[in-house]
C-alpha cells in the first residue's frame, strides 16, 4: 500500500526529530507504560508518535525531575506537527482544531475544561452545550485575564487620541 504524501512527510519529520533528540526509532517511552490509558485521544500512529516524542523531549530537557514531577501540568497539542515539538508545561493557546492531551491527567482536554482553563467560570458555561461548541468557543475566544490586560493597555495608552 502506497503512503500518502502527508504520511510520508510525517514519517520523515518524525525520524529527523527522533534522530536530533537521540530517541530510538521504535521507542515508545510514554504510550508503552502500563498505567497509561490515553483517554480520548485518537490512537493513530501519528498521534501516538507525537505523544511519545514530546514526552522524550521533555524528559531530556528536565532529566532531574521524577516522572510525576515532569508530567505535572504538561500538555501536548497532538494536532500540531511533531517537528514543532508541541509540548509545554503550561496550557497551550487553543485553536478550534486543537487536540490537547494532558500527561498529568492522562486524557484529552475537553472543550469545557479548556474554557475553564482560559478563565471562564462554571456559572457562565451552559450545561447543555456540546463539546463541539465548547471547542469552537475556546478556540475563538480570549481568556478573561488576557482580555482584561489588553483593555487596560489600550485605554491607558498615553499616545491614544483621547489623551491628546
Q: What are the backbone dihedrals phi and psi of residue 70, each rounded to the nearest 5 degrees, phi first?
A: -65, -45
Residues 94 and 114 in one domain: no
Residue 43 lies in a domain: yes
Its domain, for residue 117, covers 110-142
Read off the pLDDT of residues 47-77 as tens digits, 9 standing for 90 and up.
Answer: 999 999 999 999 999 999 999 999 999 999 9
CA-to-CA separations, 17 to 12, 24, 88, in angstroms, rounded: 9, 10, 17
Residue 2 lies in a domain: no
Residues 22 and 84 in one domain: yes
Residues 34 and 76 in one domain: yes
Confidence band, pLDDT 50/70/90 cuts, at residue 138: confident
Residues 127 and 79 in one domain: no
Residues 41 and 89 in one domain: yes
Residues 59 and 136 in one domain: no
Q: Are 148 and 108 a contacting pair, CB within 8 Å? A: no
| Residue where the block lists cell 478563565 | 119
Residues 21 and 98 in one domain: yes
The domain total for the chain is 2
Residues 105 and 44 in one domain: yes
Amino acid at each position: 500500500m502506497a503512503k500518502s504524501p502527508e504520511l510520508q512527510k510525517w514519517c520523515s519529520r518524525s525520524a529527523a526529530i527522533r534522530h536530533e533528540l537521540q530517541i530510538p526509532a521504535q521507542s515508545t517511552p510514554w504510550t508503552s507504560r502500563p498505567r497509561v490509558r490515553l483517554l480520548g485521544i485518537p490512537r493513530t500512529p501519528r498521534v501516538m508518535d507525537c505523544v511519545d516524542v514530546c514526552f522524550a523531549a521533555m524528559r531530556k530537557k528536565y532529566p532531574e525531575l521524577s516522572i510525576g514531577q515532569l508530567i505535572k501540568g504538561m500538555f501536548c497539542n497532538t494536532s500540531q506537527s511533531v517537528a514543532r515539538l508541541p509540548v509545554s508545561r503550561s496550557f497551550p493557546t487553543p485553536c478550534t482544531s486543537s487536540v490537547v492531551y494532558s500527561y498529568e491527567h492522562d486524557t484529552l482536554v475537553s472543550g469545557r475544561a479548556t474554557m475553564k482553563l482560559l478563565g471562564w467560570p462554571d456559572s457562565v458555561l451552559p450545561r447543555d452545550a456540546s463539546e463541539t461548541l465548547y471547542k469552537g468557543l475556546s478556540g475563538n475566544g480570549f481568556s478573561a485575564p488576557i482580555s482584561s490586560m489588553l483593555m487596560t493597555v489600550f485605554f491607558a495608552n498615553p499616545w491614544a487620541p483621547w489623551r491628546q
